[in-house]
Amino acid sequence: MEISRREFIRRMMALGFSAAGAAALLPLAACAREPIATNTPPPIVPTVTPPLTTTPAVTPTGADLVVAHGTSPAAMVEAAVTSLGGIGRFVKPGNKVVIKPNICVAYHTYEYAATTNPEVVGTLVKLCRGAGAGKVAVFDQPFGGTAEQAYLRSGIQDAVRAAGGEMEIMTRAKFQDTDIPPGRDIKKWPVYCDALEADVLINVPIAKHHSLARLTLGMKNLMGLVLNRPQFHFNLPQRVADIASLLRPELTVIDAVRILVNHGPTGGSLDDVKLTNTIIAGTDFVAADAYAATLFGLTGADIPIVQTAADMGLGVMDLSKIKITEINT
């Protein structure tokens, strides 16, 4: 079975290669399109978490995080990305870019803080196109309603198209059984091929309450790129961390313009929405999630997914150990 460039790089990084070194070993490969049997879910692996005995896939040093404050989502995103070194640090001419927002439901607009702010998504599309990206695709699997309905209702579809991106409907045929070498609980899972095949993956969650995970942030947003999501709830923190170890977005931008502080993940009452006018951006998704937790009066250690990912060496949870740049727009 052929594997994609992203998957190959992740496997090599698990063995200690740098991302650049791994990329130099194999050109971009086409992602295999093997059919997934609809009546045969992936096996449930016993939820035993062994001690980490291998070298972490990423050495968490030199992590950087930018926190932008202001009243304009577009201005905050642009300022945060610029402070990180500019979009050119991540996107090169001709790159295939995938942007993964949280498009949770088809029955609320973004003001209810269940879906990512469309201006945040549209601004990222514009920046990627301005950097010469060959294609910028945006997609998600809504929890409530159809993708067509949710894309339109969220306002994300109009924002993406206006910025030169493409909204795509995710199809079952593009989910590929994929090995997860660093995984502790799950070692293989159906993952969306286009996300694995992309040159650049940008994760754009909204920060919100979640009845089971406590908060849903960057790492949990990656669940929208896998099949059989209900099975994740057998061991949610570890399984989300396992998937995050494979997908590893090049850039995480957390929409905290409005946050949902209760009755998540779908919300439904503006009384549960708090205006915080904040954008969090960085290359370390553990650090980004840990900072986002502070907006709810929590720490990364209070969020099991964040703690589990930190225990795996996937990033830095202790915010005192990273450089955080705060800017006002």
**CATH at 220:** 3.40.50.11440
What is the C-alpha to C-alpha distance for residues 136 and 125, in angstroms, rounded to an integer?
A: 7
Residue 12 belongs to domain spanning = 1-30
- Angle among Cα 155, 157, 158 to the nearest 5 degrees reads 70
Within-domain flag for 25 = yes
Residue 39 lies in a domain: no
CA 87 – CA 204 distance, rounded (Å): 15
pLDDT at 8: 61
Cis? peptide before 265, omega within 30° of 0: yes
Same domain (yes/no): 12, 160: no
| 47 domain-assigned | no
121-165 per-position pLDDT tens digit:
999 999 999 999 999 999 999 988 999 999 999 999 999 999 999
Report yes or no on 35 lying in a domain.
no
Domain presence at residue 184: yes
Q: Alpha-carbon distance 247 to 235, whole Å? A: 18
Q: How far is CA 157 from CA 20, 106, 126, 147, 162, in A?
A: 34, 12, 13, 10, 9
Cα–Cα distance, 40 to 8 (Å, whole number): 26
Instruction: Say yes or no: 324 and 272 in one domain.
Output: yes
Could you tell me if 16 and 157 lie in one domain? no
Query: What whole-number distance in Å separates Cα of residue 328 and Cα of residue 324?
Result: 13
Domain identity same for 16 and 75: no
- Domain identity same for 228 and 133: yes
The residues, ordered by sequence, that sit 6+ positions from 193 with a Cβ below 8 Å of its Cβ are: 4, 31, 32, 33, 174, 175, 176
Q: Are residues 148 and 291 in the same domain?
A: yes
Q: How far apart are CA 222 and CA 99, in angstroms?
A: 11
Kindly tell me if the per-residue pLDDT of 192 is higher than 90.
yes
What are the C-alpha distances in Å from 192 to residues 59, 220, 243, 278, 327?
26, 15, 11, 30, 35
* pLDDT in the model for residue 201: 98
Q: In this structure, what DSSP letter does residue 109 have?
A: -
> What is the CA 169 to chain-centroid distance, rounded?
18
Share of the chain above pLDDT 90, in %: 77
Predicted confidence (pLDDT) at residue 36 exceeds the cutoff of 90: no
190 and 247 co-located in one domain: yes
Place of tokens 């960085």: 282
In a domain, 192, yes or no: yes
What is the DSSP code string of 43-86?
P------PPP-S--SS---S-EEEEEESS-HHHHHHHHHHHTT-
pLDDT band at residue 72 using 50, 70 and 90 as cut-offs: very high
Indicate the number of domains in the chain.
2
52: pLDDT confidence band, cut at 50, 70 and 90?
very low
Could you tell me the pTM of the whole model? 0.84
Residue 289 domain flag:
yes
292 and 231 inside one domain? yes
Q: What is the mean pLDDT of residues 112-123?
A: 97
Whole-number pLDDT of residue 30: 44
